[in-house]
A and B are shown apart, each in its own frame.
Chain A
Amino acid sequence: MLFYLTVILVCQLAGELIVVGLGLPMPGPVIGMILLFAGLVIRGGIPEGLTRVGDAFLSNLSLLFIPAGVGVVLHMGLIAREAKALGAALLGSTLIAIAVTGLLMHLLTRRQRARAGEGTGETGDRP
């Protein structure tokens, strides 16, 4: 457990060092993600301990958004002033992006789905 937590932190730290060292425009943890992914590809599998640590992070991902989200108190005036622009931009762009991404992926993989015979009733929605 502790070993794999250390592995994740080492990837993040290496990512930060690479970003600062090379002056890259992206955040360090993203490079850390690439490093961990590369490690998994080289190793050819996910060790069980890493699954446990990683899933602990990912299954509570929404919790991690809360401290930053509470930062809304810092910008209440700004948000009230720009409510129309922000509201329209967030609502419009999020819906358009979902529609475009979903339709594009749906169309591009249609032939593949037909070939694999999973073209019908595959949503598996849970109520």
Chain B
Amino acid sequence: MSAPASLTELWVYLAASPLTALTMTLIAYQCGMWISARAGFSPLANPVLLAVLLLVGLLLVTGTDYSTYFEGAQFVHFLLGPATVALALPLYRQIERVRRSALAITVSLITGGAVAAATAVAIGAFFGAGPDILASLAPKSVTVAVAMGIADKLGGLPSLTAVLVMITGVIGAALGPLLLTLLGVRDPASRGLAIGTAAHGIGTARALQMSDLEGAFAGLAMGLNALATALLLPLVWGWVF
């Protein structure tokens, strides 16, 4: 057997094994974290974005299709479900603060969640996006597993929603803290609530870098907005469209 042929065979074997995609996902994430740390945790060097770019490059270069990649990566993707359940922990840890400002949190969060969905759909419609794109855009501020479920119910494309959710998180994590400082919002509870509501887990990861309290409120907001949007958006969508 010639060397190139055996190399090809080796690659065919490796590419078909879920282990390769799973390992590549973990390696790419750690490369993303490493680059992000090297860049001084600059919000523009977001680890998720970097990892996705690396993996997309790898898939394109090797001519691997997404379904083959996902056979391995699904083990990571699956963990989104239990991670969503685990959001009960930050929620419970802040129960005293939440109880004290329950009304303020409820009003801010439901308004913020509604504004996020409504402005996304309105701006998308203004630029002429079709109904399936609008349905994919509407839940983009919600954490990805829940957003994909909502998009599916609204008649959107769940896999497109996943990408839009990621970009939303990167935008919120990069520009949210700066915007809030410019607006004079300096208390960590309000900052965390805003970033978690609009930019879910990627925003929460960013808020955790600022302070524990900001991170806790972001985690709380991510959980509550997932809940509020999952409950309300399909109902409102049914009335409007």
Contacts and interface: CB of A to CB of B under 8 A. Distances in A.
A108 B145 CA distance: 31
Interface string B105-131: 101110111011101110110111100
B87 A85 contact: no
A61 B159 contact: no
Contact of A73 (B56, B210, B226): B56
A34 B26 CA distance: 30
Contacts of A28: 81, 149
A53 B86 contact: yes
A103 B194 CA distance: 8
Contact of A58 (B29, B86, B92, B101): B86
Contact of B231 (A25, A32, A71, A100): A25
Of B100, B112, B187, B194, most buried by chain A (CB within 10 Å of CB) is: B187
Interface string A35-76: 111001100001000110111011001111111111111110
Nearest to A40: B92
A78 B95 CA distance: 43
Interface in B17-64: 25-26, 28-29, 47-48, 51-52, 55-56, 59-60
Given A69-B52, A101-B109, A32 B104 contact: no
Given A98-B112, A103-B190, 6 more contacts: A33-B87, A46-B92, A46-B93, A53-B86, A97-B112, A105-B189
8 contacts: A9-B82, A70-B52, A86-B124, A86-B164, A89-B120, A90-B140, A101-B109, A126-B209
